[in-house]
Structure 1
Amino acid sequence: MYGADLTEIHDLIHESRGKDYGAEARELTGRVRRLRPDARSLLDVACGTGAHLRHFAGLFDRVEGLELSEPMVRAARRALPDVPVHVGDMRTFGLDARFDVVTCMFGSIGYATDEAELHATLAAFARHLNPGGVAAVDPWWFPETYLDGHVSADVTTAAGRTVARVSHSAREGPACRMDVHYVVADAHAGARHFTESHRISLFGRATYETAFRAAGLGVEYIPGLHSRRGLFLGLAP
């Protein structure tokens, strides 16, 4: 789970790597509204610091977020004081509300540790959809598209602070393990180093589609989006 150190620099480092949260939110909204033209409410599950949510807030009448990491919840609430952001686990959450759209972005669905948890997660999404609602899921890599042993490195400087990120990702059975090292430096605090380690499941496309259907959702897969991971759209009856 993401800690306080990463929360502080999360958006900065990913935006420096070219991630455009606003463009992703607008593109996803356009696709959702082809299925549900009157969609007015949205729940962003695993919303992190609210980087996508702040853009969804300008595209929908009512938005809410859900996030397991409490440091990220606090950051999202600071950034979006008028938006409800709930502490909760995507596999088991239960809110007293339904939405026209439920989103799960940035490959966060891969934190479901096995197929049973994937099914539980999509069932939770379905329970929170209005009739005719849409679940939009940005998946993690499929086994056949995952690059075993992938290394990436990035350095960015903003507002007097420099952040370096180096990651290594390796296959571990049906999942991958990604170890990430960060160095953060500024003139006042000097340099500090911390690490994060993540185990992320490598579900196949058919596994995702089976889980959508088991949750009672029709499913469509759109390739090429989100760093070529694609996008799943699940339609509630």
Structure 2
Amino acid sequence: MYGPGMAEIYEILHQARGKDYRAEAATVAGHVRVRSPRAATLLDVACGTGAHLREFAGLFDEVEGLELSDAMLAAARAAVPAAVVHGGDMRELALGRSYDVITCMFGSIAYLKDTSELTSTLRSFAEHLTPGGVVAVDPWWFLETSVEHHVSGDTVTVGRRTMTRVSYTEREERTSHMTVHYVVAEPGGGVRHFAERHDLTLFTRAEYEEAFAKAGLRVAHIDGIQSGRGLFVAVGDTDL
């Protein structure tokens, strides 16, 4: 789970590495509008620091978020003060209301441990949809397209702060174990180092599609976007 050190630099670091939250939110909204032109309310599950949520707020009438990490939750509430951001786990989603759109971005769905959790979580998403609502999930890499050993590194400077991110990801059966080290330096603040580990499940594309179907969601996969991982866009049955 992301801690305070990462929450502080998360958004600015990924933006400096080339992530375009505004463009990604607009792409998701475009696919949603094709399926539900009047969609007005949105819940962003595992919303992190609220970077996508902030952009969704300009595209939908009412947005809310859900985040498990206390540090990221505080950042999201500060980033989008007009939005309700709930603390909680996507596995235990029970907000007592429904939304026209539910999103789960940046591979966060892969924190689910197995296909049983994936199916039950997507079923919970479906239960929180208005009739004909839309679920958009930005997946982690598929098992069949994952790399066994992957190293990535970037150094960026934003303002007076220089940040280095180096990651090593090792695949073990159906899990990618990603260890990430960060070095942050700035005048007057010295140099800080911290590391985090993320265990992400490698579902197959077919397993995602089967889980959506079991949840009562009619799904399509949009290839070639979200850094090559694609995007699942699903429509709920009108009688849910």
Mark yes or no: TM-score above 0.5.
yes
User: Equivalent residue for 2:9?
Assistant: 9
1:133-188 per-residue CA deviation (whole Å, 9 max, x = no partner) reads: 00000000011211221101011111211110000001011110000000011111
Cα shift at 1:56: 0.3
- Verify: 1:26 aligned to 2:26, yes or no: yes
Contact 1:92 1:120 in 2 (8 A): no
Equivalent in the alignment of 2:159: 159
Pairwise CA distance, 1:42: 0.4
Q: How many residues align?
A: 237
Aligned to 1:91: 91
Determine the structure 1 residue equivalent to 2:176: 176
Q: CA deviation at 1:130?
A: 0.4
TM-aligned CA deviation for residue 67 of structure 1: 0.5
| 2: CA distance, partners of 1:144 / 1:178 | 17
Cα deviation per residue 1:74-111 (whole Å; 9 max; x = unaligned)? 00111111110000111111102100000000010000
- 1:51 maps to a residue whose letter is A
- Are the equivalent residues in 1 in contact too, given 2:222–2:230 (CA < 8 A)? yes
Superposition misfits of 4+ residues, deviation over 6 angstroms: none
The code of the aligned residue for 1:60 comes to F
TM-score computed with the length of structure 1 as normaliser? 0.99
Backbone CA RMSD of aligned residues: 0.7
Alpha-carbon contact 2:220-2:232 (below 8 Å) kept: yes
Residues 121-160 of structure 1 mapped to structure 2, 5 A cutoff: 121-160=121-160
Q: Deviations over 1:112-142 (max 9, x none)?
A: 0111111121011111100000000000001
> Is the 8 Å Cα contact of residues 181 and 196 (structure 2) preserved in structure 1?
yes
Partner of 2:8, secondary structure, is helix
Residue aligned with 2:144, SS: coil
1:62-73 equivalence runs, <5 A: 62-73=62-73
Residue 42 (structure 1) aligns with: 42
Letter in 2 for 1:67: E
Q: 2:97 aligned with 1:105, yes or no?
A: no
Determine the C-alpha separation between the residues in 1 that align with 2:88 and 2:234. Answer: 22
Where 2:176 maps in the other structure, the secondary structure is strand
Q: CA deviation at 1:17?
A: 1.3
Instruction: Tell me, in whole angstroms, the C-alpha distance in 2 between the residues paired with 1:17 and 1:157.
Output: 10
The one-letter code matched in structure 2 to 1:6 is M
1:188 match: secondary structure:
coil
Cα distance in 1 between the residues matched to 2:121 and 2:18: 29
CA contact (8 A) 2:169 2:177 kept: yes
Paired with 1:225 and 1:121, the residues of 2 have a C-alpha distance of: 23
CA distance in 1, matches of 2:81, 2:218: 35
Return the alpha-carbon distance in structure 1 between the equivalents of residues 87 and 127 of structure 2.
18
- Does the 8 A contact of 2:16 with 2:158 survive in 1? no
Preserved contact between residue 162 and residue 185 of structure 1 (Cα < 8 Å): yes
Using the alignment, how far apart are the partners of 1:158 and 1:67 within structure 2?
A: 26
The aligned counterpart of 2:226 is: 226
Which amino acid in the other structure matches residue 40 of structure 2?
R
Q: State how far apart, in whole Å, the 1-side matches of 2:200 and 2:106 are.
A: 12
Q: TM-score with structure 2 length normalisation?
A: 0.97
2:6 counterpart SS class: helix
